[in-house]
Structures are given as C-alpha cells and as structure tokens.
C-alpha cells in the first residue's frame, strides 16, 4: 500500500494542473483573490520563506502526511461543528525530493516566519513516520473553545512541493482519478 499525502479537494478547479498561489495569481486572478483571502488576517505568511526550496509560501503546494479524519474528529470532540471535508490523495512516491520538503509545524498564534531548523528533508519514509497526529495537536483541537480560531493544520507537519502538479496524479477519497471525478478529463 502506498504512503499517501492528503490535500483538501480544490473547489472550482481550472485547468489540468494544481497550481501554487503565485501561479494562480497570474492565470486565474479571481481564484487568487478567493484563495489569498484566507490570509487576510496575517498577509505576511504568504511571504514566509521555504528555506530548503529557496522560495516563499506562495510558491508551493501544501500536503498533509496525516489523514484528515483524526484531526476533524478531535475538533468535533471540542463541540465545534465542522463542515464535511472532501479531500484528495497523492502517492508520496510521486514527489521528487529535490523540489519537496517537510515543514515541522507548531501552533503559533503570532504566525512567525519559520527558521531553517523548522524544515526537514523530504522522503517517503519520513512522511510515513509523520502520518499520525501528535497528542499535543489532538489535545489542542479537542480543547478548542467557540471563540478560538479554527486552525486544524496549525501543528500538523506540512509537505511542501515547489511547482505545479498534474491533476491526473490525484485520487478522490474513493480512489478515483480526480480529473474523472470532477469532470476535468
């Protein structure tokens, strides 16, 4: 069985490639405006460096080595309602190590820029080792109050890939190719 990476399903998918924000800005300005809006409270995050890849947050695609199920179960345990989550999967073997890294995350309400020590080299073995959420992350999510910001991935490692990827590499939660599932074939 392959080691999987997870990504929230993309709404209003256009084209045959999944693009990072900087490429979306140039090709689909309306989508860029929608996607960058999630950073409105902390726009500096979009300029944070991704040291190992010599780029910024806006130049990478984001994946989780952790299945979303345990994360959202922990949020529900806090009493918070969460919308149904649709996600895609990607075989971790498909990402080249020279264009991919892992950012070790920790909850940081100030959204400070990461240092070089916050990143580790990418390997499928490391992804597999990081595939379970930490007890610290689950405890934080289970104890969320109604007025705290909902940041499910704040202390879950991020797999960062510099560049774009063909949508045909992704599968939906049922294992069907995403291009087929979304009608983009």
State pLDDT tens for residues 29-81: 999 999 898 888 888 888 999 999 999 999 999 999 999 999 999 999 999 98
pLDDT, residue 58, reads 94
What is the reported pTM?
0.91
What is the DSSP annotation of 82-98?
-----EEEEEGGGS-GG
Q: How far is CA 10 from CA 3, 7, 89, 159, 170, in A?
A: 21, 8, 12, 17, 11
Mean predicted lDDT score pLDDT of the chain: 90
- Can you list the pairs that 52-58 forms with residues at least 24 positions away whose Cβ atoms lie under 8 Å? 52/101, 52/116, 52/119, 52/121, 53/99, 53/100, 53/101, 53/160, 53/162, 55/162, 56/22, 57/21, 58/20, 58/21, 58/22, 58/25
Cα gap 54→99, rounded to integer Å: 10
- pLDDT of 108 above 90: no
Per-residue pLDDT, averaged over 95-109, amounts to 92
């Amino acid at each position: 069985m392959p080691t999987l990476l997870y990504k929230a399903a993309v709404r209003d998918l256009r084209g045959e490639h999944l693009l990072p924000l900087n490429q979306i800005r140039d090709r689909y300005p309306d989508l860029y405006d929608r996607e960058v809006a999630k950073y409105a409270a902390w726009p500096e995050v979009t300029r944070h460096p991704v040291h190992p890849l010599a780029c910024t947050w806006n130049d990478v695609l984001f994946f989780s080595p952790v299945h979303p199920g345990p994360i959202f179960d922990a949020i529900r345990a806090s009493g918070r309602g969460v919308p149904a989550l649709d996600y895609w999967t990607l075989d971790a073997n498909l990402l080249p190590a020279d264009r991919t890294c892992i950012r070790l995350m920790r909850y940081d309400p100030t959204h400070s820029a990461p240092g070089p020590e916050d990143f580790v080299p990418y390997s499928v073995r490391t992804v597999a080792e990081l595939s379970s959420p930490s007890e610290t992350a689950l405890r934080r999510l289970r104890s969320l109050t109604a007025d705290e910001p909902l940041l499910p991935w704040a202390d879950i490692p991020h797999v960062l890939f510099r560049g774009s990827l063909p949508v045909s590499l992704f599968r939906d939660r049922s294992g069907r190719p995403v291009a087929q599932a979304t009608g983009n074939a």
